[in-house]
Amino acid sequence: MRIPVATVCIAGAAVLLGSTGCATKKYVRNETSNVATQVEEHMTALETQIEDAQNRLGNHDRVITEQGMEIEKASGTALEALERARSAGKLAEGKLLYEVVLNSDKVTFEFEQAVLTEGSKEALNGFAQQLKADNKNVFVEIQGHTDASGPEDFNLVLGERRAEAVRRYLNMEHGIPLHRMSVISYGESAPITDNDSRESRAQNRRVAMVVLM
């Protein structure tokens, strides 16, 4: 018995359609799997980025906290130095690193003179070595202070001469660039103690180096 051609064609078409359907389902499953893998990889990368950002924020907060603690310990004149340097655009990061105060025990001057003594030079040698060891692009404000002996105008000039003597020494003997240092005189206006005794007046006669970055 002969099977009609039409019947064969219909049967063949049914087999082909069934085969195409299986292939389509397999393709969809593969594509769905690929998309799921890509989504998972994207989510993992996103989570890593979020974690990195949180770590950076945590480090930033830590730096701000540490800097705040340093600022709390700084003197009023050191904070004024920071503000002056920020306003003048002298700083890369705009923060206070530390303050070194050299009073009469370390940096001394002859009476009404601005010539550094050997003891002064020794103390400044140590300060310069610290600057070089830090290996940072720092800015230093050198502040001259006096006691209340003598006229106020004279003390203001004297404080500036003493600060300038320190600046010249750091430049000529240790190569600290002049443009990385500035001087200012407070004269007798910013004492750290009273001026009622020889000892207290000696404490007020000081040079302060404020190191900024």
Give the structural domain span for 161.
74-212
pLDDT at 8: 46
Highest mean pLDDT among 38-42, 81-85, 112-116, 194-198: 81-85
Angle, CA 87 vertex, CA 140 and CA 89 arms, to 5°? 65
**What band does 208 get if pLDDT is binned at 50, 70 and 90?**
very high
Give per-residue pLDDT as tens, 100-114.
Answer: 887 666 556 666 777
Instruction: Over range 139-168, report the average pLDDT.
Output: 93
**Cβ atoms of 159 and 145 closer than 8 Å:** yes
What is the Cα–Cα distance from 103 to 75, expressed in whole angstroms? 15
Residues 136, 194, single domain; the answer is yes
Residues 105, 208, single domain; the answer is yes
Residues 43, 89, single domain; the answer is no
Helix, strand or coil for residue 110? coil
* Cβ-defined contacts of 123-128 (< 8 Å, 24+): 124/166, 124/169, 124/170, 124/173, 124/174, 125/173, 125/174, 127/100, 127/102, 127/170, 127/209, 128/170, 128/173, 128/174, 128/176
Can you give the pTM of this predicted structure? 0.65
Give per-residue pLDDT as tens, 50-84.
Answer: 666 555 444 434 433 334 434 555 678 999 999 99
Helix, strand or coil for residue 103? coil
Residues 64, 160, single domain; the answer is no
- DSSP label at residue 112: T
CB atoms within 10 A of CB 145: 26
The number of distinct structural domains making up the chain is: 2
Residues 67, 79, single domain; the answer is no
Element (H, E) at 120: helix 118-134
Instruction: Over range 19-29, report the average pLDDT.
Output: 59
**What band does 192 get if pLDDT is binned at 50, 70 and 90?**
confident
Residues 97, 109, single domain; the answer is yes
